[in-house]
A and B are shown apart, each in its own frame.
Chain A
Amino acid sequence: AQTVTQSQPEMSVQEAETVTLSCTYDTSENNYYLFWYKQPPSRQMILVIRQEAYKQQNATENRFSVNFQKAAKSFSLKISDSQLGDTAMYFCAFSTGNQFYFGTGTSLTVIP
């Protein structure tokens, strides 16, 4: 069975600082995708970044980057130069075949 674990229910960071959200997963599959989704207080879920498991290079999208450690089954999200608009719930997600699994989420607060 596939599982996604986010061990940090809540985090906070000062504006302009860097924060890392952790995510681990468990699977026996070799081909899969990993995602980070952001759900702001307005509740619409949007994709932040995604990583293909067969790619060794870590994905980057502007201030967002991942540290993908396939052997360790770890997929952390780094947010650089944190902004007030980054305040949201962040969900790590895993997908393979017909299934899509979410972690329980990390609530991030950016403090002015």
Chain B
Amino acid sequence: DAMVIQNPRYQVTQFGKPVTLSCSQTLNHNVMYWYQQKSSQAPKLLFHYYDKDFNNEADTPDNFQSRRPNTSFCFLDIRSPGLGDAAMYLCATSRDLGVNTQYFGPGTRLTVL
């Protein structure tokens, strides 16, 4: 059974056109993360939510925003996608912060035309 679900799996957008990626979880975990992963690179953490508390990584561009309306759902909003934002976006969850295992979704591959 899927535990971390990401929709859509593939997303195509135009340069500068806002796009929203979705993540949901059935694990009832407190923490949800968004990572950006470019080809052949390690995932790069963009931000995470601990419950409703939002934590932004220092080098995450302002172009990236996130919303967590409830425990199960978390959204990644890219306000004005640039060509450099084309990547795989991974959502992950963990029961708590830090030492807990993270469970990853299958990712959404974003293409920017």
Which residues of A does B touch, CB under 8 Å?
Answer: 31-33, 35, 37, 42-47, 50, 52, 91, 95-100, 102-105, 107
With A43-B107, A44-B107, A45-B90 as contacts: A100 and B41 at CB distance below 8 Å: no
With A103-B42, A104-B41 as contacts: A95 and B104 at CB distance below 8 Å: no
Contact across chains for B42 and A104 when beta carbons are under 8 A apart: yes
Find chain B residues with CB under 8 A from A107 CB. 40
Q: Looking at the assembled complex, report how far the CB atom of B100 sits from the nearest CB atom of chain A, in whole angstroms.
A: 8
Find chain B residues with CB under 8 A from A43 CB. 88, 106-107
User: Given the complex of chains A and B, what is the CA–CA distance between A97 and B103 in angstroms?
Assistant: 17
Find chain B residues with CB under 8 A from A46 CB. 104
User: Given the complex of chains A and B, what is the CA–CA distance between A105 and B38 in angstroms?
Assistant: 12
B38-75 vs A, CB cutoff 8 Å, 1 = contact: the mask equals 00111101000000000100000000000000000000
Count of chain B residues near A, Cβ 8 A: 21
Q: Looking at the assembled complex, report how far the CB atom of A64 sits from the nearest CB atom of chain B, in whole angstroms.
A: 15
Q: Looking at the assembled complex, report how far the CB atom of A97 sits from the nearest CB atom of chain B, in whole angstroms.
A: 5
Contact across chains for A44 and B45 when beta carbons are under 8 A apart: no
Q: Looking at the assembled complex, report how far the CB atom of A66 sits from the nearest CB atom of chain B, in whole angstroms.
A: 15
10 contacts between A and B (CB under 8 A): A31-B99, A33-B98, A37-B104, A43-B107, A50-B101, A99-B98, A100-B33, A102-B43, A104-B42, A105-B41
Q: Looking at the assembled complex, report how far the CB atom of A102 sits from the nearest CB atom of chain B, in whole angstroms.
A: 4
B91-109 interface with A by 8 A CB criterion:
92, 97-107
Contact across chains for B105 and A44 when beta carbons are under 8 A apart: yes
User: Given the complex of chains A and B, what is the CA–CA distance between A46 and B103 in angstroms?
Assistant: 7
Contact across chains for B105 and A35 when beta carbons are under 8 A apart: no
> Told that A33-B98, A104-B41 touch, could you supply 19 new A-B pairs with CB distance under 8 A?
A33-B99, A37-B104, A44-B104, A45-B90, A45-B92, A46-B104, A47-B102, A47-B103, A52-B99, A95-B98, A95-B99, A95-B100, A96-B98, A97-B97, A97-B98, A98-B55, A100-B45, A105-B40, A107-B40
